[in-house]
Structure 1
Amino acid sequence: MDRFTRNYSIALGLLIMVALVFWIKSSWQPHTWDLDKILTSDATLASYPYQFRVRSLENGVATISTPRSYDIPAMRFLEIIHPNLAGLAQDDPKMVAAQQDLINHQKRAMGLMLAQPQVKSVDWQLDTQWLADHGVQVPSRTRPGS
């Protein structure tokens, strides 16, 4: 092996190792995993058709996934998990009850997180992947980082 090829191989190997270290460091989030386990092991939340998940924990702020936002109304989500609600008016008693059930589950997820000593507040992040998997197109401005 000539000198250039050897040096190039060493530099490329080092670059790959550095990238691997950064990737492992960024994905290694044991505190987030512990918080997520609290949500997934809660019987009330586990029985709900949508599974709330902890996405991150930074500076005491737990970010939890949610299937709704101002741009994706609760009705759209509820019609997916409860097909019998499709076409009902927003003020229909069945739709109102389903919306209240969603609110109760979100409040429970938030309460479980706020009960943890390392969590000071909760933010919500639209679960664009879940929505896309269920055929809902998400406007680009609601995607994280937009």
Structure 2
Amino acid sequence: MDRFTRNYSILLGIAVIIGLFFWAQSVWQPKVWELDEVLTSDPTLIDYPYQFRVRSFEDGTAVISTPRSFDIPAIRFLEIIHPKLAGKAQDDPEMIAAQQDLIDHQKRAMGLILAQDGVDRVDWQLDTQWLADRGVHR
């Protein structure tokens, strides 16, 4: 092996090792897994059609996934998980009850996470992948 190929191989190997180190560091998040376990083991949340998940945790702030935002109204999400609501008005009693149920589950998820040691705040992140899997795009 000539000198250039040897040096190139060594540098390439070092770059791969450094890349693997940073990748492993970003994936290794035991606190996120611990917080997520709180949500996935709660009997009230587990029965809801949407599973709230902890996406990240940094500096006391937990980020939880949500199926709604200002861009994607709750009604669009509710029509997916409750097809019988499709086409109903926002002020329909069934739609209002479904919205309240979503609010109650979202508040429960937030309360469970805020009750954990080290968590000072909860932020919400739109679950674009879940929505996209169901044909909803921003």
The question of a shared fold, defined as TM-score above 0.5 by the shorter chain, is answered with yes
Q: Deviations over 1:33-58 (max 9, x none)?
A: 00000000001101000000000011
Give the Å deviation of 1:71.
1.0
Equivalent in the alignment of 1:28: 28
- TM-score, length of structure 2 as denominator length: 0.99
Equivalent in the alignment of 2:90: 90
Equivalent in the alignment of 2:68: 68
Give runs of aligned pairs for residues 1-146 of structure 1, distance below 5 A: 1-138=1-138
Secondary structure in 1 matching 2:57? strand
- Separation (CA, whole Å) in 2 of partners of 1:118 and 1:83: 39
- Separation (CA, whole Å) in 1 of partners of 2:92 and 2:71: 21
- Separation (CA, whole Å) in 2 of partners of 1:137 and 1:4: 49
- Separation (CA, whole Å) in 2 of partners of 1:51 and 1:118: 23
- Separation (CA, whole Å) in 1 of partners of 2:125 and 2:45: 17
Give the Å deviation of 1:100.
0.2
- Separation (CA, whole Å) in 1 of partners of 2:130 and 2:76: 13
- TM-score, length of structure 1 as denominator length: 0.94
- Separation (CA, whole Å) in 1 of partners of 2:34 and 2:80: 29
Secondary structure in 2 matching 1:119? coil
